[in-house]
Amino acid sequence: MTETIKLISPVDGSVYAERAAADAAAVDRAVTAAKAAQPGWAATPLETRIGLCLKALEALLAMNEEIVPELAWQMGRPVRFGGEKGGVEERARYMASIAKDALANIVPPERPGFKRYLKMEPLGLVMVIAPWNYPFLTAGNTIFPALMAGNVVLLKHAAQTLLVGERFAEAFKKAGLPDGVFQNIVMTHEGTERLLGSGLVDHVNFTGSVAGGKAIEKALAGTFATMGLELGGKDPAYVMADADLDYAVANLVDGAFFNSGQCCCGIERIYVHESRYDAFVDGFVDLTKQYKLGNPLDAETTIGPMAQTRFATWVREQTEEALRKGAKAHIDTSAFPMDKAGTPYLAPQVLTNVNHQMSVMREESFGPVVGIMKVKDDAEAIQLMNDSPYGLTASIWTEDLDAAERIGGEIDTGTVFMNRCDYVDPGLVWTGVKDTGKGAALSQVGFANLTRPKSFHLRKEH
């Protein structure tokens, strides 16, 4: 019997889409087609590869009016935010703009009688296992540069965002990409693990949970495939004594609650210098109260349901544990009528009197709750920011650039922000440390991770 993958909408609990999972024969056909297409694609001039990717980007952007409500139905993001069009375009165009230089031969100092250089060659078959929270952005981070570099791509999208994979496939088909170069494939976890263990995949990019990353590593064991893993996060912010308080409040509230807090680099814990603590908390709470929880298809909604009820249940459990241990909740959830236990609709919550013995300050929440702690100085802030198994981003709010660089140098994280958060700059590498994962995306480093160096050492005289 053919197994199916069901997409349950967080909007109303209905089955929004259902697709048959590829069986072993279908997976074999997809891999065979990809392997057959890769040499010809790699031999295609770089300018042509880039041009076709940009045509696909244009096709994708042209679908945005249809994509926005699809996203609301699939994972709950309010339509008022317009989808992911701007971010996808910024990242894809930037990677296209640097591809020629990033993929150029590396030539060492001249040595008489020899021609020597390193050529950046594609890895071969790249598999992208994409998440649901930013389904176009996260997938595009690897898909576009992988194809530009001469790889072929198999996309397995999250069950929660099944239709996103189909949108990518439609866009690349409209662009005229050769058959087999990009394929969207619906797979079960078991089928994915079998493919990864086959040795036929050359590189895997996975964004998801720590447990999922460990499963990917286990499945790949012995295949020597390379991988990029972006896993959990518990991103901190430090508001210093000289911070522009209104600016910090506005941006950190957005950084904590945008997308219902379901952001890889969303703000999950905030440390505030004791001299600004009370004013910061007051401003933060006042702004949080202005959110409107509701149906994401309603243009007035500013925070929609979480993608699944179990995700909301976890955040509720974290919050309840913190309250039992003495935390103070500042948001009266009765002011958010849609907030109901047993549903994915969850009001934003601000907690104080928190500490690092509470799950909400140590374990990933990935939802609309944030804890705020008072600190006496930089040293205490640094110690607390580093007291986490994760390290994706950290943000510092100050008018002192030197201080931000000094403090940032002491934080174990992949990215240090000053006076901003929850943003991915394609000109900078996207990476994490500790349990957040390994590998890198975007920037010239992203191209390096999707290619392998091949040395040419040619002796002209003998």
Q: What is the DSSP string of 263-285?
A: -TT-EEEEEEETTTHHHHHHHHH
128 has pLDDT over 90: yes
Rounded Cα–Cα distance for residues 393 and 412 (Å): 9
Model confidence pLDDT, tens digit, residues 391-419: 999 999 999 999 999 999 999 999 999 99
Q: Catalytic: 193?
A: no
Whether the Cβ atoms of residue 100 and residue 46 lie closer than 8 Å to each other: yes
1 has pLDDT over 80: no
Model confidence pLDDT, tens digit, residues 295-344: 999 999 999 999 999 999 999 999 999 999 999 999 999 999 999 999 99
Helix axes 85-102, 46-62, angle to 10 degrees: 180
Structure pTM? 0.97
453 has pLDDT over 80: yes
Rounded Cα–Cα distance for residues 394 and 238 (Å): 8
154 has pLDDT over 80: yes
pLDDT of residue 171: 98
AA letter at 260: S
Rounded Cα–Cα distance for residues 389 and 311 (Å): 20
Catalytic residue among 230, 363, 399, 410: 230
Instruction: Identify the band that residue 461 occupies on the pLDDT scale cut at 50, 70 and 90.
Output: confident
Instruction: Identify the band that residue 462 occupies on the pLDDT scale cut at 50, 70 and 90.
Output: confident
User: Average pLDDT for residues 142-158, to the nearest whole number?
Assistant: 98
Q: Which residues does 281 contact at the CB level (< 8 Å), separation at least 6?
A: 272, 330, 350, 352, 372
Q: What are the sequence ranges of the domains in the chain?
A: 4-231+436-459, 236-418
The helix (run of H) or strand (run of E) holding residue 190 is helix 189-197
User: What's the full length of the chain, in residues?
Assistant: 462
pLDDT of residue 53: 98
Rounded Cα–Cα distance for residues 306 and 75 (Å): 7
pLDDT of residue 215: 96
pLDDT of residue 118: 98
Whether the Cβ atoms of residue 201 and residue 195 lie closer than 8 Å to each other: yes
User: Average pLDDT for residues 255-269, to the nearest whole number?
Assistant: 97
Please tell me the CATH superfamily of domain 4-231+436-459, with its number. Aldehyde Dehydrogenase; Chain A, domain 1 (3.40.605.10)
Rounded Cα–Cα distance for residues 166 and 178 (Å): 17
Whether the Cβ atoms of residue 388 and residue 234 lie closer than 8 Å to each other: yes
CATH number for the domain running over 236-418: 3.40.309.10
pLDDT of residue 2: 81
